[in-house]
């Protein structure tokens, strides 16, 4: 019965019926209060419906039940970015990376957090790491997104501007006069 509620919740979330999904996950959690994945999925439904604080609460519950959940740390970090809690987000993403050194989304999120904190070179390094991992996993779309982030952060070369004479400088020849005009 519990799996039935959980599976219906997943299906409703897939159809973007977040209120219905949350209701199904609530039923699953009433039957099995220690159902880590139900907390995680309900958190995702809350996040997608805009209830970010409720999402953080569910991710935290999932982490109490399973402190090794990379996905729960990542999701809570993402929600904390939405709440502008950058130190909390950075802490969560660091934990996700410690648990799984090859989790590309965590490096991408850390790049976003570091960019928002003003650490551009660190952000670029994280986006490069994420891009490399996405490439290894043959996820070309996310790799491309990371490379675009890097391109946006790298300093643009300024065009060389020819130095012109100041208007008050004396004109030495008729050629210079016409050039200045």
Rounded distance, CA 102 to CA 98, Å?
9
pLDDT (mean) for 32-40: 95
Check residue 27 and give its pLDDT: 95
- pTM equals 0.82
Cα–Cα distances in angstroms (integers) from residue 143 to residues 16, 66, 74, 134, in the given order = 26, 29, 18, 5
Q: What is the DSSP letter of 169?
A: S
Per residue in 73-119, pLDDT tens?
999 999 999 999 999 999 999 999 999 999 999 999 999 999 999 99
pLDDT of residue 155: 78
Q: Is the pLDDT of residue 30 over 60?
A: yes
Q: For residue 1, is pLDDT > 80?
A: no
Closest CA to 125 of 105, 145, 140, 146: 146
Band (177; pLDDT cuts 50, 70, 90): low
% of the chain residues with pLDDT over 70: 85
pLDDT for 172 equals 57
């Amino acid at each position: 019965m519990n799996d039935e509620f959980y599976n219906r919740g997943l299906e409703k979330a897939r159809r973007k019926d977040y209120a219905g999904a949350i209701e199904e996950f609530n039923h699953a959690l009433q039957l099995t209060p220690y159902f880590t994945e139900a907390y995680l999925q309900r958190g995702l439904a809350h996040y997608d419906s805009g209830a970010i604080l409720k999402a953080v609460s569910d991710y935290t519950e999932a982490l109490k039940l399973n402190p090794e959940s990379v996905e729960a740390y990542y999701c809570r970090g993402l929600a904390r970015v939405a709440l502008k809690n950058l130190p909390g987000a950075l802490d969560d993403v660091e934990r996700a990376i410690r648990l799984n050194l090859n989790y590309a989304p965590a490096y991408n999120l850390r790049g976003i957090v570091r960019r928002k904190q003003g650490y551009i070179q660190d952000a670029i390094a994280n986006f490069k790491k994420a891009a490399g991992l996405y490439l290894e996993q043959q996820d070309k779309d996310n790799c491309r997104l990371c490379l675009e982030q890097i391109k946006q952060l790298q300093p643009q070369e300024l065009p060389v501007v020819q130095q012109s004479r100041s208007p008050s400088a004396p004109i030495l020849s008729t050629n210079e006069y016409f050039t200045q005009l």
